[in-house]
Structure 1
Amino acid sequence: MSEHPDCALIRRGYEAFGKGDLETLGTLMTADVIHHVPGNNVLSGHHKGREAVLDLYRRLGEETNGTYRVRLENVMVDGRGHAISVHVAQGDRGDRGIEIHEGLFFTIVGGKITDIDQCTQDIDESDAFWA
């Protein structure tokens, strides 16, 4: 049984993110993509446009001195242009560390990511880490 194309797209994105290959990652998104980050911290908000989203991903590395990593656990699709991924995010920032489950809800149009809604296992823990 072959993998659904939307699953394959999300897996390619995670692979590129893990390698720090933002050029490839950018090709998987529309120019007007939006990544919504929950909480009340330095990364929270609506990052609008491919460059703004890629800047968010650069900041994850900068803010953690390159220690930020995600380990993909699962990708699920509905066959109608939506995918959900679950991963564990890890990193160190100053004297704090984090290891937390997160989920991303993707909207996919024409084989490209148009919208990413981020959810976290514990908003308070996430806010304290990124404060």
Structure 2
Amino acid sequence: MAMGEHPDAAVVRRACTAFQQGDLDTLSTLVTADVVQHVPGDNMLAGHHKGRDACMQLWRTEYEETGGTLRVDIDSVMPDGRGHVISGHRCRAERGNRTMDMKTGLFFTIVGGKISDIDQCVEDIDAADAFWGK
């Protein structure tokens, strides 16, 4: 944790680091049981993933479908001090003969020191749809 980092930002940073390392066990402890992740677009991952188990399956699928090539590097973590954090990332992956390299952003809601909601935004929805397919 950076010196003086807000506790909400620290939770998000820990979660992003765990995801980056493929440490889904740690990640599962940083989200609420009823966590929801909203994935944009019209592709195999798009939609509202409700509950810890559904989110865990989403994250496993992202790794499985990319053969472990998925890299999500944190650029910034910005809390509002009122239970919300925005993180900026560079997302890179390979899937079959497709590659992805784009900026992404996550908007987190923090409740009781855990992540309860994740809204995902991507730099290019059409490119994300083409990468993930149906």
For Structure 1 versus Structure 2, the TM-score category normalised by the shorter chain is over 0.9
Candidates 27, 44, 47, aligned match of 1:45? 47
Match for 1:117: what amino acid?
D
Q: How far, CA to CA, are the matches of 1:15 and 1:129 in structure 2? A: 23
Question: Structure 1 residue 62: deviation in Å?
Answer: 0.6
Which residue pairs with 2:8 in the alignment? 6
Match for 2:48: what amino acid?
H
Which residue pairs with 1:72 in the alignment? 74
Q: For structure 1, list consecutive stretches of 5 or more residues without a partner in the other structure.
A: none
Question: Structure 1 residue 116: deviation in Å?
Answer: 0.3
CA RMSD of aligned residues (A): 0.7
Question: Structure 1 residue 10: deviation in Å?
Answer: 0.6
- Among the aligned pairs, what percent are the same residue? 60
Q: How does 1:1-131 map to 2 (within 5 A)?
A: 1-131=3-133
* Cα shift readout 1:16-39 (whole Å, capped 9, x = no counterpart): 111211111011000000000000
- Please give the TM-score of this superposition, normalised by the length of structure 2: 0.96
- Please give the TM-score of this superposition, normalised by the length of structure 1: 0.98
Q: How far, CA to CA, are the matches of 1:127 and 1:117 in structure 2? A: 17
Where in structure 1 do 4 or more consecutive aligned residues deviate above 4 Å?
Answer: none
Question: Structure 1 residue 96: deviation in Å?
Answer: 0.7
Q: How many residue pairs are counted as aligned between the two chains?
A: 131
